[in-house]
Amino acid sequence: MKAIVVGQDQRHSLRWQEVPQPVPAPDEVLINTRATAVNRADLLQRRGRYAPPPGASEVLGLEVAGEVVQCGEQVSGWSVGDRVCALLAGGGYAQYVVCPADLLLRVPGNLSFAEAAALPEALYTSYLNLYVEARLRPGEHALIHAGASGIGTVAIQLCAALGSPVYATASAGKLPRLLQLGATAVFDREQADFVAGVQALTEGRGVDVILDPVGASYLARNLTALNIGGRLVVIGLLGGAKAELPLGEVLTRRLRIIGSVLRGRSVAEKAELTRELERRVWPLVASGKLRAVIDRVFSITEAEAAHSLLQSNETTGKLVLTVPR
């Protein structure tokens, strides 16, 4: 089969070339990849700064949509020809990938493979961090930073669909799209003071949950923007990893700061999350209420161009890579 291989050269160039095809374990299926999608983590992994967890494929790619072409002998409930999508610990930038059967989601008939491939990473990350880690309840207010990111565009829709007023930050040109996705109010990350903004919108209380991929440069403002008992979930470090923590504020206002990564979690934990997504979120996808926002679709042979575009910070939503049969 062919897969994207990262070159040893200075540019870490991406080449579509022959590699050995993976073989499914007894509890896994083999998927013929029809589409995958680009994540920030891929940019880091390509440069040797984000190693795959032990046992995962070295090939880039954290999500996939395609057809089941082989089932391991312990797999039940799935058959050759099923249209599936899945969260992966790696291996998506390839014609074939193996995946534990417990992590498969059935692609509804109204979704193309490109649309389905754009969902898993954003959906799992948003749901896990907002609803499992931060326990966001209906009626509570949420703030999503980098609201126009692949993760952010799904997180906004999820909050709106599950009953939370949701605010978002992004650069100015992307804000109107975030309102269309269900944000109650949006803030230009370069010009507006999101702390004053959310306080005005919550009668001075602040928001209950913040989903934050920015980290250090937002830490102090995030704490001020939280309601008493508020939860800050740090999922990325786009704005740096080191900051001063005003513990007095954390203590007196009973704040909780949660750090969270998805990729390194066990298959059992991801399987549990898959069942919860199937029950609570997949009906929204099947009914068309929640869709991945796709900025652009590339062929996998153009993966380099897709990485450059994601790195430019100019995208809204996901970049998808289609894979030839």
Whose Cβ is closer to ligand NAP: residue 30's or residue 128's? Answer: 128
Size of the site for ligand NAP (CB under 6 A): 26
267-279 residues labelled b (16+ CB within 10 A) or e (exposed): beebeebbebbee
In the chain, which residue ranges form alpha helices assigned H by DSSP?
Answer: 40-46, 113-117, 120-127, 150-161, 175-180, 194-201, 219-225, 247-252, 267-280, 282-286, 303-311
Nearest distance from C-beta of residue 201 to ligand NAP, angstroms: 20
Q: Decide if residue 157 touches ligand NAP (CB under 6 A).
A: no
- Report how far residue 230's alpha carbon sits from residue 209's, in angstroms, rounded to the nearest whole number: 6
Nearest Cα neighbor of 21 from 72, 57, 60 is: 57
Confirm or reject binding of residue 233 to ligand NAP (CB under 6 A): no
Q: Work out which of 24, 206, 213, 230 binds ligand NAP, going by CB under 6 A.
A: 213
Q: Residue 75 or residue 114: which is nearer to ligand NAP going by CB?
A: 114
146 near ligand NAP, judged by CB under 6 A: yes
In the block, residue with structure tokens 């991406």:
14
CA distance linking residue 64 with residue 88, whole number of Å: 7
Minimal CA–CA distance to 227: which of 247, 207, 209? 207
- Per-residue contact flags (x/-) with ligand NAP for residues 6 to 45, judged by CB under 6 A: ---------------------------------xxx----
Query: Please, what's the largest Cα pairwise distance for the chain?
Result: 59
239 in contact with ligand NAP (CB under 6 A): yes
Query: What are the φ/ψ torsions at residue 85 (nearest 5 degrees)?
Result: -135, 160
Q: Write down the least CB distance from residue 184 to ligand NAP, Å.
A: 18
Using Cβ positions, the residue closest to ligand NAP within the complex turns out to be 236
Q: How far is the CB of 45 from ligand NAP (least distance, A)?
A: 11
Q: Cβ of residue 151: shortest distance to ligand NAP, in angstroms?
A: 4
150 binds ligand NAP (CB under 6 A): yes
238 binds ligand NAP (CB under 6 A): yes
The number of beta carbons lying within 10 Å of the beta carbon of residue 34 is: 22
Does residue 99 interact with ligand NAP by CB under 6 A? no
Pick one of 235, 285, 300, 306: the residue that binds ligand NAP (CB under 6 A): 235
Q: How far is the CB of 30 from ligand NAP (least distance, A)?
A: 25
User: Which of 52, 59, 56 is CA-nearest to residue 5?
Assistant: 59
* Cβ 116 to ligand NAP shortest distance, Å: 17
Q: Mention every residue, 6+ apart, whose C-beta is less than 8 A from residue 23.
A: 30, 98
Query: Does 219 interact with ligand NAP (rule: CB under 6 A)?
Result: no
Distances (CA, A) of 52 to 39, 169, 188, 265, 266: 14, 30, 34, 12, 13
Task: Please report how close the Cβ of residue 77 comes to ligand NAP at its closest, in angstroms.
Answer: 27
Contact 88, 62 (CB under 8 A): yes
Q: Is 121 in the site for ligand NAP (CB under 6 A)?
A: yes
Residues that bind ligand NAP (CB under 6 A): 39-41, 121, 125, 146, 148-151, 170-171, 174, 189, 213-214, 235-236, 238-239, 260-262, 310, 313, 315
